[in-house]
Structure formats: structure tokens, C-alpha cells
Amino acid sequence: MAEESNNLPSVTYTLEREHLHQLFDVLTGKGYRLLGPAVRDGAIVYDELTAPSDLPVGWTDEQDGGRYRLKKRADDAVFGFVVGPHSWKKFLHPPALRLWQLRREGDGFTVIQEEAESPKYAFIGVRACELHAIAIQDKVFLESKYIDPMYKIRREGCFIVAVNCGQAGGTCFCVSMNTGPRATSGFDLALTEAMEGERHYFVVEVGSPAGADALSEISHRESQADEETTAERIVADTARQMGREMDATGIKELLYRNYEHPRWNDVASRCLTCANCTMVCPTCFCATVEDVTDLAGDTAERWRKWDSCFTLDFSYVHGGSVRATTKDRYRQWMTHKLATWFDQFGSSGCVGCGRCITWCPVAIDITEEVRAIRETESKKDSAGD
Amino acid sequence: MALSTDSAMTSPVANPMIPVPWRVQKARRETRDTFTLTLRPANGEPLPAFAPGQFNMLYLFGVGEVAISISGDPADQENLVHTIRAVGTVTRPMQRLKRGAVLGVRGPFGSPWPVEEAEGNDVVIVAGGLGLAPLRPALYRLLAHRQQYGRIVLLYGARTPRDLLYQRSLDQWQTRSGIEVAYTVDAAAEDWRGNVGVVTTLISKARFDPVHTTAMICGPEVMMRYVIMELEKLGVTDENIFISMERNMKCAIGFCGHCQFGPTFVCKDGPVFRYDRIEPFFKLRGV
Ligand SMILES: Cc1cc2nc3c(=O)[nH]c(=O)nc-3n(C[C@H](O)[C@H](O)[C@H](O)COP(=O)(O)OP(=O)(O)OC[C@H]3O[C@@H](n4cnc5c(N)ncnc54)[C@H](O)[C@@H]3O)c2cc1C
Ligand code: SF4
Ligand code: SF4
Ligand code: FES
């Protein structure tokens, strides 16, 4: 986006690579638990960090439909990769979470009160598409009819260090979804990593008072004009390298018109209903509950666990599942992401991160499915008109 | 970045996920697989106000939680009434509960029947099977304000005579309340003198003014489809038709995603929908 690359705030700061550790030290000193990208078992995942050396320094990832591979870079870039199989939802909306505990008392029960303290997460290296994904889950859990106290407590104390992408991945399409590659809001600090000859530094934008406060305790200075220009050029270059593209104009109406498009049968013949796409998607929020008791039956707990609309059980009501076929379920997923989400939460449910494409074992590609429907739709209408 | 903290977000919110203990005051067998529980707060808390059509999540300690419509009188300040069919993991053991037993309750949730908006109109209520349970609070409300409505018609279908719910009330309503009641069963023995056939066959015989009618329907989706077609044929408009939807529910508060039906969440946008608002999605299969 041309305008995206031209509206850097008037003041940016420069943080030398050799001082990056100060950011870690300052945040740790303020009581934050640092989380961010790290290499584990052949992938870049999100995990606990203690120092910049825990980051995937000198690594990059190659991604395509159904394919992910780590590779050594020729340089020592700290953030020279894109997004992996994890997303920040694993911290804010954990895969398995105890919602409550009850104790049997007489013939009734009472709630076992639990501490409700913020875990004070600091997320290091949040990409623009991921900031949008977090904002989307905020809508689901904090800005709807009810507030989820479990999400709220994790989300409220969060410190976010965003990173503007210095390169695009093979399955990225944030430009199409208007969510990147530049972080425009929702961060405390945003870094653009620059490497020029011997120089290695970050151009830093401040997004909040908490960000300004943290930066004030770190060696930094105002950026020079050429450093700002370099940062802008880096992000603009990334925007031109998108591995995928999706024409999102009128996407909601397109899908509402095409509930009965034959393409759903085609994709259903390939989809394994493995649910990978929903697990890796940073906005998918669906969950189930499990009720358990201890052996004596005196304490009962309810656990919330990630669930997926790709399972048959998901839509079960007495007598059978509402979405009985793979076609029903793939259509539900994609139509939710790109159509019904707008009506539910006022935005797309897809931020163009490309994870569902990379981690699909049979390389089903949401951009390709949209293209196929767009190019072959008969003007016969269906739902939503 | 930390959340913007407007007051709505920082004000203490009661945890909408935690069940509150209620005590079974009365457990009554309705049919071979259906029973009605009358509950009162175990901790002396006041009964939360509910509107006809809303539902609660009922929790059996350690076993699980199910969505059950409120089937009692909304004017009753003391009791919460639920009519439940024993079908599985949670509802079967619930059938064995006796007076004094404690259940967890969360709610009430969901959208109501348009009992106030229907004032001045004729009201046609069509129920299939257990669908009569969520409609009963609406009937109580209509009867309590009988003079506010034109004709009131209740059409009800069950599988067999033994599956008819609230038999005594049906007969009372029919004879004393100024409402037209007709019921039918899918199948019956020779000695059954009532109607046999699907509930839609009762519609054309009922007396109401289609142009000034509010229709409220609850039952299996196929049944609702046919009822809607029949009502439309007579001239009832889609804006005056209301249906109650059922979907798998794991939270009732919009977080679990299970109850999605097109762009709606049945738990918070429904279960009662004005038909014209969901019509394109209701006509599709597998949504
Ligand atoms: C808004 C609403 C109102 C309802 N009102 C009533 C009522 O008044 N009386 C009544 O008897 N039943 C009612 N139901 C259906 C009731 O929730 C199910 O019969 C119940 O969940 C079955 O649970 P189970 O564990 O006994 O059965 P199982 O078959 O063991 O349940 C397995 C799973 O499927 C789900 N499930 C099964 N059937 C249904 C269903 N019909 N609807 C939603 N989820 C289902 C259960 O939650 C569980 O996750 C209502 C459902 C909804 C959504
Ligand atoms: S649908 Fe796919 S591309 Fe879109 S946000 Fe989810 S994982 Fe990323
Ligand atoms: S689209 Fe791919 S990742 Fe998603 S359920 Fe189907 S096979 Fe699995
Ligand atoms: S029941 Fe969980 S979202 Fe509706």
C-alpha cells in the first residue's frame, strides 16, 4: 500500500542491534514474562525468551502450500523470517484452560476461588497481521455481549513489541487483506530491522506511553533521515513480495452468493478435515468444554479446549450433525473467515497470514479457493441477497 | 499493547461462566422420556427475570452442562421450570434427580418470543414435540394479557398420544382460556379419537386473520420448514413469523463458536429469530 509506507510518525528512534538486549532487560525488570520466536524442532515457534540470543538469529523460513522449511541466512538478521505454526492466541486464549473448580458441599457446591492475576506477558516480534488477529480476538472475547474474564486477564497486562516485516513469506497475503506488512496500531513499540554494510540497527516507533517509558530506559537516539528512509524502503519492498494474493473486493457478498457453488465439492474431495488450518489460524477461537471430577467426586472442574468446525462432533445435536459432510464443514470455515465474520464482528476473520496454506497437508489454499469461486460463479444467487 | 480501559472493560463483571446452585423443588414425569424440574435458588438468591423463549444452561455436578429452555410461567417469582427429554450423557442422569437435589444454573440467555410486539394481532403458536416447552412461557404471558390479543391458536403435534406434553394444561386451555387448541399425533392406536397426521394439516383449519397474525414456531427444522410454507401460503408475512433454532452449545455466551448458524450465534442472537432475517440461511442445508 503506497499510503502505508509513507505515513511513518514524525519522530522515530534508532536502537543499535548491540543494545537490543537492553529491551529484554528492561521488560524483565518491569516484571514481564518475555515470549517470542525461537527455533524448536525444525520450526520457528513462540516460547519463553530470556535474551536476544534466544531469538532465531540468522534463520529464515521457506514456505509454500503444505511446505515449511528452516534455512540458514547469509546474515545475522534477528527477525529475518515470517510467521510459523504458532500464534499469540496460544497465550491469550490457551489451547487448554481450566475455567473453574467447584467443591461439593453438602448436597450442593461452592466455587473454589482462584487468583486472578495478570500473567504480564511481553510479546516480542508481533507481526502486523498478528496485531490485527489479536484485535479481532479482542472483539470476540472483550467487545461482544459478554466479556471473557480469562482472556481479559491475560490480555490486559500485555506489552507488545511489533516487528515490521523485512521480507514476505511464500504464503503471505497481508497486503490483500490490508493488515500489513507495516504495524500501524496496537503496539507499544514497533521495530524495523535494518542491515546496511557493517551497520545493524532498528528503527523504533512508539505506540503507547508504556512503550515510551520502556524506551526511555534503553540506549537510543532520534533516527536520522536516511535511517527512516531505509526503514520505509524495507517495508515497501516487503509489500511487493507477497507470496499470495486475494481479491477481497465484495468478498462477503461473493461468498453469500455462492453457498451452492460446485467448487465446495471440489475442495471437499481434497480436504482431510484434519483441522490443522483452524489450529494454526490466529483468529479461529472455537472451543469445547470438558467437565471432569477428581476420583472421589468431590471437586469438579471445567476445562476449555480448542475445538474445530472441521470435526463431526462440533455441530452435533440429538439425531446427528448439522454439518455432516466435508463440504459443509469446509464451507463453514471459509465462509466464516471471509463472510459471516463481517456480520458478526465488523471485519474479515482472515488477516492474510498464510498459515492455513502452509500447514495444510494437502496444500489447500484459501486464496486459490476464493479465486476459483470468483472466476466461475454463475450469477445465480443464494444466501444473503 | 495494553488494552484501552474504558469503564465497560474495567467494571467488575460477574463471571458468566460459573454455574450457580439451584435446588430441585419438584421433579415430575411428563412422558416416558420427558420430565419437568421445578427449581429454586439454593443460596436464597432472587430468581433472575426471564423472558418467554429464553434458556438456561443446566449443569449436573461433574457430568456436564446442557442448554434447556425455560418452560414455566414468567410471572412466577419463585420457581424456575424446565422440561427435559432424557437423550444422553447429561439429560439421562438428570431424569433421576429427586426433590432436594442440587443443579448448577447459568442464565437466562438468548432472545425472547415477541409477546409484546404481538399485542393487537392474532397469535398462532405451532409446536412440534418438545418444541412446546419453550413456547409455554409465551402462552402463559398471552393468557395473562388475554384481552391484548385477537384470536390465539395453539397447534401441537407429537409422535404418539403418550408423547403429548402438558396434557392437563392442553385440555384446560382448550376449554377455558379463550384459545383455540388443536393437537395431532403422527401415529396412534385404534382407540385414539383425536387427529392423526403432521401438525401442518391443522393450519388450514385454524381460524385467524393471516394479515394480522404473529406466528411463533418451535420444533424440528423440517417441521418448521413445512409450517412456514403453509403460513406463507395463507398470507402470513415473513416479518411476522418467529422460529426458535437449536444448535450445539458449549458456552451460551458467544465464545465457543458451536452454535453458529450463518452469520448468527444462536445463543446470543437467537434462539428466537424473526424469519425474514434468517430466511436465506434457513433454506440451505448443512449451514
Ligand atoms: C436453545 C436450546 C434450548 C433447548 N431446550 C431444550 C429443552 O427445553 N428441553 C430439552 O430436553 N432439550 C432442550 N435442548 C436440547 C438439549 O440441549 C440437548 O438435548 C442436550 O444438550 C443433550 O445433552 P446430553 O448430554 O444429554 O446428550 P448427548 O447426546 O450425550 O450429547 C452429546 C453432545 O451433543 C450436544 N447435543 C446433543 N443434542 C443436542 C441438542 N438437541 N441441542 C444442542 N446440543 C445438543 C450436547 O450438548 C453434547 O455436547 C435445547 C437446546 C438448545 C440449543
Ligand atoms: S484463514 Fe489462513 S491466512 Fe487467514 S488468518 Fe487464518 S490462517 Fe491466516
Ligand atoms: S483445509 Fe487442509 S488443513 Fe484445513 S482441515 Fe482441510 S486438509 Fe486440514
Ligand atoms: S453456545 Fe458458544 S458461541 Fe453460542
Contact B2 A104 (CB under 8 A): no
Instruction: Report pLDDT for A2.
Output: 36
- Per-residue pLDDT at A380 exceeds 90: no
Domains (range + CATH), chain B: 5-109 (2.40.30.10), 122-244 (3.40.50.80)
Same domain, A268 and A235: no
Q: Which of A139, A237, A127 is nearest to A177 (CA)?
A: A127
Spell out which residues line ligand 4, taking CB within 6 angstroms: B 249-252, 254-259, 265, 267
Q: Which of A291, A325, A296, A297 is nearest to A309 (CA)?
A: A325
Element (H, E) at A37: strand A33-40
Q: Which residues of A touch B264 (CB under 8 A)?
A: 344
CA of B102 to nearest chain A CA: how many angstroms apart?
5
Radius of gyration of chain B measured on its C-alpha atoms: 19
Same domain, A264 and A149: no
The three-class DSSP label of residue A59 is strand
Question: What residue's CA is closest to ligand 2, atom 7?
Answer: A281
- Per-residue pLDDT at B4 exceeds 70: no
What is the rounded distance in angstroms from the CA atom of residue B269 to the CA atom of residue A145? 10
Same domain, A366 and A274: yes
Instruction: Report pLDDT for A113.
Output: 84
pLDDT confidence band for A5 (50 / 70 / 90): very low
What is the rounded distance in angstroms from the CA atom of residue A289 to the CA atom of residue B89? 14
Calculate how far, in angstroms, residue B88's C-alpha sits from the geometric centre of ligand 1: 8
pLDDT tens column, A114-130:
877 889 999 999 999 99
pLDDT tens column, B44-69:
777 778 999 999 999 999 999 999 99
- Per-residue pLDDT at B10 exceeds 50: no
Q: Which residues of A touch B42 (CB under 8 A)?
A: 108
DSSP assignment of A343-359 = HHHSS-S-----HHHHT
Q: Do the domain assignments include residue A111? A: yes
Instruction: Report pLDDT for A20.
Output: 98
Q: Do the domain assignments include residue A315? A: yes
Instruction: Report pLDDT for A379.
Output: 60
* Cell numbers standing for residue A256: 453469500
Q: Do the domain assignments include residue A61? A: yes
Q: Do the domain assignments include residue A164? A: yes
Same domain, A145 and A48: yes
Same domain, A142 and A212: yes
Same domain, A199 and A348: no
Q: Do the domain assignments include residue A7? A: no
pLDDT tens column, B229-272:
999 999 999 999 999 999 999 999 999 999 999 999 999 999 99
**A368: CB partners within 8 A, 6+ apart:** none
Mean pLDDT of A25-37: 98
Among A211, A239, A267, the domain boundary falls at: A239
Q: Does any ligand 3 atom lie closer than 6 A to the CB of residue A275?
A: yes
Domain count, chain A: 2
Same domain, A231 and A352: no
What is the rounded distance in angstroms from the CA atom of residue A287 to the CA atom of residue A89? 12
Instruction: Report pLDDT for B3.
Output: 58
Question: For residues A275 and A305, is the Cβ–Cβ distance under 8 A?
Answer: no
Same domain, A218 and A319: no
* Cell numbers standing for residue A12: 522515530
What is the rounded distance in angstroms from the CA atom of residue B119 to the CA atom of residue B145? 9
CA atoms within 13 A on the CB side of A305: 9
Contact A336 B260 (CB under 8 A): yes
* Cell numbers standing for residue A372: 476459483
Q: Does any ligand 1 atom lie closer than 6 A to the CB of residue A111?
A: no
What is the rounded distance in angstroms from the CA atom of residue A294 to the CA atom of residue B10? 34
Q: Do the domain assignments include residue A244? A: no
Same domain, A214 and A282: no
Cα dihedral across residues A14, A20, A24, A26: positive or negative: negative
End-to-end CA distance of chain A: 31
Judged by phi (left if over 0) then psi (alpha if -120 to 50, else beta), residue B81 lies in beta
The residue segments making up the domain with residue A353 are 251-300+308-384
Question: For residues A129 and A42, is the Cβ–Cβ distance under 8 A?
Answer: no
Question: What residue's CA is closest to ligand 1, atom 29?
Answer: B88
Q: Does any ligand 1 atom lie closer than 6 A to the CB of residue B256?
A: no
CA triple B92-B96-B101, angle to 5 deg:
120
Contact A156 B5 (CB under 8 A): yes
Locate all alpha helices (DSSP H) within A174-223, ordered by sequence: 174-177, 209-216
Q: Does any ligand 3 atom lie closer than 6 A to the CB of residue A309?
A: no
Indicate the average pLDDT of chain A: 94
Instruction: Report pLDDT for A7.
Output: 47
Count of C-beta atoms within a 10 Å radius of residue A118: 14
Same domain, A226 and A169: yes
Q: Which residues of B touch A187 (CB under 8 A)?
A: 1
Contact A292 B62 (CB under 8 A): yes
Mean pLDDT of A201-209: 97
The residue whose grid cell reads 517470542 is: A36
Question: What residue's CA is closest to ligand 3, atom 6?
Answer: A271
- Per-residue pLDDT at A378 exceeds 90: no
Q: Using CB atoms, pick whichever of A152, A286, A297 lies closest to residue B62.
A: A297
Q: How many helices and strands (H and E) does chain B possess?
A: 6, 15
Q: Using CB atoms, pick whichever of A141, A210, A385 lies closest to residue B280.
A: A385
Contact A142 B3 (CB under 8 A): yes
What is the rounded distance in angstroms from the CA atom of residue B266 to the CA atom of residue A163? 39
Among A197, A215, A239, the domain boundary falls at: A239
Q: Which residues of B touch A307 (CB under 8 A)?
A: 250, 256-258
Mean pLDDT of B88-96: 97
pLDDT tens column, B181-206:
999 999 999 899 999 999 999 999 99
Nearest-ligand number for the alpha carbon of A327: 3
Same domain, A79 and A184: yes
DSSP-assigned letter for residue A283: S
Among A186, A207, A239, the domain boundary falls at: A239
pLDDT confidence band for B131 (50 / 70 / 90): very high
Tell me how far CA of residue B265 lies from CA of A93, B134, B258, B273, in angstroms.
Answer: 20, 18, 8, 11
DSSP assignment of B230-256 = HHHHHT--GGGEEEE-----S-SSSSS
End-to-end CA distance of chain B: 37
Instruction: Report pLDDT for B16.
Output: 87
Q: Does any ligand 3 atom lie closer than 6 A to the CB of residue A333?
A: no
Same domain, A235 and A255: no
CA of B108 to nearest chain A CA: how many angstroms apart?
13
Instruction: Report pLDDT for A107.
Output: 86
CA of B222 to nearest chain A CA: how many angstroms apart?
13
What is the rounded distance in angstroms from the CA atom of residue A305 to the CA atom of residue A88? 16
What is the rounded distance in angstroms from the CA atom of residue B138 to the CA atom of residue A137? 36
Mean pLDDT of A24-29: 98
Q: Do the domain assignments include residue A5? A: no
Report percent pLDDT > 70 for chain A. 96
